[in-house]
Amino acid sequence: MVNLKEIQDFVKAIVKTGVSEVDIKTEDLKLSIKVHTRDNSKQVTETTYIQQIPVTSQMPTLQTTGQTIHAATTTTTPVEFREEEKRDDKKYITIKSPMVGTFYRKPSPDKPLYINVGDEIIPGKVLCIIEAMKLFNEIEAEVKGKIAKILVDDMSPVEFDQPLFLVEP
């Protein structure tokens, strides 16, 4: 990947040389610089076009959790969809992250998940782990109910106060 500072330095060097146009093409970068000057004036305008060509790579395979994901086929606009989703979420209790860290749904890679959608929970039941600064903190339920939604993917970064689960009381 090309460093922005290197490109800026390169553009300045081109302007100093007095060259009016430069095109550079490599496998992963296309750079076009055109320098326009006004008649006998010191004022210089620069036009820089940078196109980063995406590199294809093999996608990692994902382990399935047994959940079926269905595509939404409604005709609502994004704003209507968010408002509809918020109305639905009001009937649930939201369990939020008490810290910044990495969210894990199981105690170790070879162990089963702590909970799944539909599982009944009681206060004190471990729901997940959040790793912060190499410390693994078990997050326990403080309410009784049934897990309605899991809002965070396994091994994802989470922020303080970010919703993790929706619980149907």
Give dist(CA 86, CA 126) in Å, integer. Answer: 26
Pick the closest to residue 106 from 69, 89, 76, 131 (CA basis).
131
Q: Model pTM?
A: 0.49
Residue 83, in any domain of the structure: no
Query: Which amino acid does the sequence have at 9?
Result: D
Residue 21, in any domain of the structure: yes
pLDDT tens track, the chain, 169 positions: 566 677 777 777 777 777 777 777 777 667 777 766 555 444 444 555 554 445 444 444 444 444 433 333 334 445 544 555 555 667 899 999 999 999 999 999 999 999 999 999 999 999 999 999 999 999 999 999 999 999 999 999 999 999 999 999 8
Residue 67, in any domain of the structure: no
Give dist(CA 24, CA 123) in Å, integer. Answer: 62
pLDDT value at residue 88: 61
Segments forming the whole domain that contains residue 155: 89-168
Residue 84, in any domain of the structure: no
Are residues 101 and 46 part of one domain?
A: no
Joined tokens for residue 101: 């860290």
Residue 95, in any domain of the structure: yes
Are residues 94 and 48 part of one domain?
A: no
Q: Which run of H or of E encompasses 7? A: helix 4-17
Are residues 104 and 162 part of one domain?
A: yes
Residue 10, in any domain of the structure: yes
How many distinct structural domains can be found in the chain? 2
Residue 73, in any domain of the structure: no
Residue 69, in any domain of the structure: no
For residues 117, 120, 124, 126, the Cα torsion angle rounded to the nearest 10 degrees is: -30
Task: Identify the residue whose tokens are 């609502």.
Answer: 76
pLDDT value at residue 85: 53
Are residues 96 and 47 part of one domain?
A: no
Are residues 144 and 94 part of one domain?
A: yes
Give dist(CA 75, CA 28) in Å, integer. Answer: 39
Are residues 96 and 43 part of one domain?
A: no
Q: Residue 13: helix, strand or coil by DSSP?
A: helix
Q: What is the CATH number of the domain that holds 147?
A: 2.40.50.100
